[in-house]
Amino acid sequence: MKSNKFLGRDWIDAELDYTKEEWESLIEVALDLKRRYAMNEDTSNILRGKTLFTMFFNQSLRTRSTFAAGIQQLGGFHVDLEPGKTYTPARKGFDIPYKTERIKDVAEMLDRVGDAIAIRMYGPPANWIYGFANSTMKEFADSASCPIINMECDKYHPTQSLADMLTIKEKFGTFKGIKMTMSFAYSGSIEKPRAVPQSVVLAATKMGMEVTLAHPKGYDLDPQIIEACRKNAEMNKSSFKITNDFNKGFKGAHVVYPKAWGSVYCFNYTDETGKTVKKADHVKAEEVNTAALGWKTTKKQMALVDKNGYYMHCLPADRGQEVDDDVIDGPQSIVIDEAENRLHAHKAIMAMTMGGRL
């Protein structure tokens, strides 16, 4: 009998916890599942009888639809446990009588009757405390033996970044030598998590791409993520650079990924005991955001990238602020390919961690 080293593993900090080889395996599984889907092959035996529970503390279109469709295409069942319509899972100290239920009790019960729990949480449901949502997911993992899947928290969005790497592999056939820029883009909303840019730079450096992170001052990412990216680049003999120059970030890139995220002033920070060490400053956050008004992707901006370069975005995009319509709807845009690949990436994650019959 073949062993499955993915079986039962959590997909929470996947850019850190899974090896490059394991990411490559998941991409290959996703590509195979995509091929089988295109050929109308029956894959309903892969997770037949398995149940996926999802909890969306935040709104979702692509993640919600692709996980729900994916588990059903693999023969399993999807149960959406919408917080607020069920008792909302809560960490100790955040209990509200008759409205919440302690995470331990929720996780242990669902573990008995299902096969995986997928969670999305960031922003207001996490009290804008940086790392709160990520810790919430790990608390679920401490009490459940089934896989916990991170559908985006305040630190990482590994389901998105796997779909992104799948898309790049499809377009170029390789990661080696591909110049990829993760760039900040202006948005009228300052309240956005850093999960996507942090996951993308981690995944891209892990796969050995030549990665540039471009952002205005005040939009720095987590120092621990930056250090991990540098180590990835060193291990792969590739590169990881940071620039505060929008044009420099785009120049010569094969892939650009301009995406809005919250500045360092948007979040509350606590120490290991939960004590607040720094509060959010939304006045300062608005100031740095206004100063970044020019970080918008236009046709002129796209003229700086490689002639065969691509524009990516996780969606939804703030059209007219982050990007012009003629770019996101233009010939270099692969945002819908990227969104479609969420289905196949998510199926690969579920199939491998939930014990699928591939």
Q: How many domains does the chain have?
A: 2
Mean pLDDT of the chain: 97
Residues 299/323, Cβ–Cβ less than 8 Å:
no
The CA angle 256-336-59, to the nearest 5 degrees, is: 95
3 assigned to some structural domain: no
Are 171 and 288 in the same domain?
A: yes
| Range 228-236 contact pairs with CB under 8 angstroms and sequence separation of 24 or more | 228/15, 228/16, 228/202, 229/201, 229/202, 229/205, 232/202, 232/205, 232/206, 233/205, 236/20, 236/205, 236/206, 236/207, 236/208
For residue 221, what is the DSSP state?
Answer: P
Domain range enclosing 271: 160-339
Residue 93 tokens read as: 């100290």
* Domain containing residue 41: CATH number: 3.40.50.1370
- For residue range 59-103, what is the model confidence (pLDDT) as tens digits? 999 999 999 999 999 999 999 999 888 999 999 999 999 999 999
Are 166 and 125 in the same domain?
A: no
9 assigned to some structural domain: no
- For residue range 178-236, what is the model confidence (pLDDT) as tens digits? 999 999 999 999 999 999 999 999 999 999 999 999 999 999 999 999 999 999 999 99
Are 310 and 200 in the same domain?
A: yes
Are 146 and 293 in the same domain?
A: no
30 assigned to some structural domain: yes
Question: Measured between alpha carbons, how far is 177 from 147 in angstroms, rounded to an integer?
Answer: 34
Are 233 and 293 in the same domain?
A: yes
176 assigned to some structural domain: yes
Are 128 and 164 in the same domain?
A: no
121 assigned to some structural domain: yes
Are 173 and 318 in the same domain?
A: yes
Residues 168/161, Cβ–Cβ less than 8 Å:
no
166 assigned to some structural domain: yes
Of 51, 80, 20, which is closest to residue 354 (Cα–Cα)?
51
56 assigned to some structural domain: yes
Are 201 and 81 in the same domain?
A: no
Residues 199/160, Cβ–Cβ less than 8 Å:
yes
The pLDDT of residue 1:
42
- For residue range 294-352, what is the model confidence (pLDDT) as tens digits? 999 999 999 999 999 999 999 999 999 999 999 999 999 999 999 999 999 999 999 99
Sheet strand arrangement including 239-243? 239-243, 210-214, 179-184, 255-259, 310-311
Are 227 and 99 in the same domain?
A: no
358 assigned to some structural domain: no
The pLDDT of residue 3:
64
Task: State how beta strands 255-259 and 310-311 pair.
Answer: parallel
Are 176 and 295 in the same domain?
A: yes
- For residue range 225-236, what is the model confidence (pLDDT) as tens digits? 999 999 999 999
Are 173 and 135 in the same domain?
A: no
Are 25 and 132 in the same domain?
A: yes
Query: In whole angstroms, what separates CA 262 from the centre of its chain?
Result: 15
